[in-house]
Homo-oligomer: A and B are copies of this chain.
Amino acid sequence: MKKHNLIVGQSGGPTAVINSSLYGVISEALSHPDAIGHVYGMVNGIQGLMQGHCCNLGKCSPTELEALTYTPGAYLGSCRCKLPEDLTDPVYPVILQKLEDMEIGYFLYIGGNDSMDTVSKLSRYAAKVNSRICFLGEPKTIDNDLVLTDHTPGFGSAARFVATAVREITTDAEVYDTQSVTIIEVMGRNAGWLTGASVLARRFEKDNPLLIYLPEVPFCTEDFIKRLGDLLKTRKTVILCVSEGIHDSEGRFICEYETSAETDTFGHKMLNGCGKFLEQLVRSRLGVKVRSVELNVIQRCSSGLLSETDRDEAIMAGRFGVNAALEQETGKMIAFERESNFPYRISCSLKDVGQICNKEKKVPLEWIREDCDLAEDFIQYAAPLIRGTVTARMEEGGLPSFVYR
Nearest chain B residue, comparing its CB with the CB of A304: B304
Is there contact, CB below 8 Å, between A297 and B301?
no
A398's partner among B10, B169, B258, B386 (CB-CB below 8 A) is: B386
A268's partner among B164, B171, B280, B309 (CB-CB below 8 A) is: B280
Min CB–CB distance A304 → chain B (angstroms): 4
Chain A 7-44 interface 0/1 with B at a Cβ cutoff of 8 Å (1 = within): 00010001000000000000000000000000000001
Q: Chain B residues near A291: list those with CB within 8 A.
A: 297
Given contacts A171-B73, A261-B264, A394-B389, contact A79 B177 (CB under 8 A): yes
Q: Chain B residues near A168: list those with CB within 8 A.
A: 72-73, 298, 301-303, 400
Nearest chain B residue, comparing its CB with the CB of A15: B172
Is A63 part of the binding interface, using a Cβ–Cβ cutoff of 8 Å? no
Q: Chain B residues near A201: list those with CB within 8 A.
A: 399
Is there contact, CB below 8 Å, between B272 and A276?
yes
Q: Chain B residues near A79: list those with CB within 8 A.
A: 176-177
Is there contact, CB below 8 Å, between A386 and B397?
yes
Q: Chain B residues near A285: list those with CB within 8 A.
A: 266
Q: Chain B residues near A267: list those with CB within 8 A.
A: 284
A297's partner among B47, B169, B279 (CB-CB below 8 A) is: B169
Given contacts A175-B74, A280-B266, contact A169 B298 (CB under 8 A): yes
A72 to B14, CA, bound (A): 29
Q: Chain B residues near A175: list those with CB within 8 A.
A: 10, 14, 73-74, 77-78
Is A402 part of the binding interface, using a Cβ–Cβ cutoff of 8 Å? yes
A295 to B398, CA, bound (A): 19
Is there contact, CB below 8 Å, between A399 and B73?
no
Is there contact, CB below 8 Å, between B160 and A400?
no
Is A396 part of the binding interface, using a Cβ–Cβ cutoff of 8 Å? yes
Is there contact, CB below 8 Å, between A78 and B400?
no
Min CB–CB distance A53 → chain B (angstroms): 9
Is there contact, CB below 8 Å, between A263 and B265?
no
A279 to B237, CA, bound (A): 32
Supplied contacts A164-B303, A260-B263, A265-B280, 16 more A-B pairs, CB within 8 Å = A71-B171, A73-B168, A73-B171, A73-B174, A77-B175, A79-B176, A160-B398, A168-B400, A169-B297, A200-B399, A203-B404, A267-B284, A270-B276, A271-B280, A294-B296, A387-B396
